[in-house]
Amino acid sequence: MELERSPLAFPFPEELPEIVGVELRVARARYKNWDRADLTFITLSESTAVAGVFTQSACASSEVELGREQVKSGTARALVVNAGNSNAFTGYRGREAVEQIMEQVADHLGCKVSEVFVSSTGVIGVPLPKDKAREGVAQALNAQPCSWLEAAEAICTTDTFAKAAHASAMIGGQRVNLVGIIKGSGMIAPDMATMLGYIFTDAAVEPAFLQQLLSNANRETFSCITVDGDTSTSDTVLAFATGKAGNPALTAFDDAGADAFAAALADVCRQLAQMVVRDGEGASKFITIRVSGASSDDSAHRIALSVANSPLVKTAIAGEDANWGRVVMAVGKAGEPADRDKLSIGFGGIWAARDGLPVEDYDETPVAEHLKGQEIDVTVDLGIGSGRATVWTCDLTHGYISINADYRS
């Protein structure tokens, strides 16, 4: 099945900086019957700090289980990403395949096994074939370094465009760079799943502080996107800091440049997260849902997700229908504090309903115009507190059904 490029796709960034200490390579393990690079091998210079956030799924893959433990040690030397097989729900056989990859790479680099991170994405329930993995890794170990574009393409499964973002920050007079790559478009296409994101920086950052910064950034970026509300067994975001920029290592928010670095990291995460939504299966519109006036930020977040995951809201927007009643419904079902008679709903900055009533003399014309665009804004004000949240999603179209139902894997 050939997927069409998303109408919301961004071109790949033309000038991504090199991150000193990071080397990219790809290989063809042929995890599926295809002729493309599907194994990505990234080496990191010694003492590279690592941090990670992982899926909350109770059925997480071995890669995720191991990764959660590995980040605790704080250092990384390599990352291997397998595309075409998620190796999830494959029991001890799947775990053996991951451990084999870790050992093969550690032997080659002369590092600890725990410093080799592995991710896999693709079909659930098929153990990663050990022979293909072994041969693919061997091929990668001897390959020439490649570009960010090649690496970003090799981690894709049914993504319709390769995704990368960058930012920079000044730390103690020293410019540091950050580059991130990501794959995913919700849980996409037959049997496919998983969002995998990797951020590389030459900044020097202590592992514990890097973890704190990544967790903070995750909360306001990756945790704020949804395509279909279906959470993968393998979602993983890792941040690697090689320290080659030579800045004084960041250890806490008090350090000079820490705020700038945190902002740059969150910026890269936000760009990557939004790109995943823009590649959401069947997406024709990028939707920003802003909730204010809730009883707390957490409550606002849950209400925003209730709106973002409502199939009726998503289909209404696909149909360019300013159906604010469905937003009321989604707020009402969220199970969060709300007062019907204080609730206000708007599209594109125009209120359709205020304080529990349709706006008098409401003119739908500019709202209908807004809904014809590709970037849709939905605003919800609860009027009962100061909690706020923003969530990004896409619409629900025939494309989603075609990708997920019409084609057998």
Q: Under rule CB under 8 A, which residues in 169-198 are in contact with its own copies? A: 187, 190-191, 193
Q: Is 365 in the site for its own copies (CB under 8 A)?
A: no
Residues in binding site: 157, 183, 194, 281, 404, 409
Secondary structure percentages of the chain, helix, strand, coil, to 5: 35, 25, 40
Q: What is the closest distance, in whole angstroms, from the C-beta atom of residue 290 to its own copies in the complex? A: 18
- How many residues touch its own copies under the rule CB under 8 A: the total is 72
**What DSSP character marks residue 10?**
P
Q: What is the closest distance, in whole angstroms, from the C-beta atom of residue 135 to its own copies in the complex? A: 23
Tokens 């008679």 found at:
341
> Considering only residues 7, 91, 145, 373, which one is a binding residue for its own copies as defined by CB under 8 A?
91
Tokens 């465009």 found at:
161
Residue type, 234: S
CB contact at 8 A, 342 and 384: yes
Q: What is the closest distance, in whole angstroms, from the C-beta atom of residue 319 to its own copies in the complex? A: 4
Q: What is the closest distance, in whole angstroms, from the C-beta atom of residue 300 to its own copies in the complex? A: 14
CA angle 328, 334, 340 (to 5 degrees): 40
How far apart (Å, rounded) are the C-alpha atoms in residues 20 and 277? 30
How far apart (Å, rounded) are the C-alpha atoms in residues 40 and 37? 8
Q: Is 408 in the site for its own copies (CB under 8 A)?
A: yes
User: Judged by CB under 8 A, which stretch of 142-150, 195-203, 261-269, 313-321 contacts its own copies?
Assistant: 313-321
Query: Burial level of 80, CB count in 10 A (0-12/13-18/19+)?
Result: buried
Restricting to residues 245-274, name those near its own copies by CB under 8 A: none
DSSP codes, 357-378: EEPTT---HHHHHHHTSSEEEE
Query: Closest CB to its own copies among 257 and 399?
Result: 399
User: Judged by CB under 8 A, which stretch of 26-34, 138-146, 230-238, 242-250 contacts its own copies?
Assistant: 230-238
How far apart (Å, rounded) are the C-alpha atoms in residues 132 and 393? 36
The one catalytic residue in 43, 75, 160, 194 is 194
> Considering only residues 8, 26, 98, 316, which one is a binding residue for its own copies as defined by CB under 8 A?
316
Query: Closest CB to its own copies among 12 and 351?
Result: 351
- 75 in active site: no
Where in the sequence numbering do the catalytic residues fall? 194
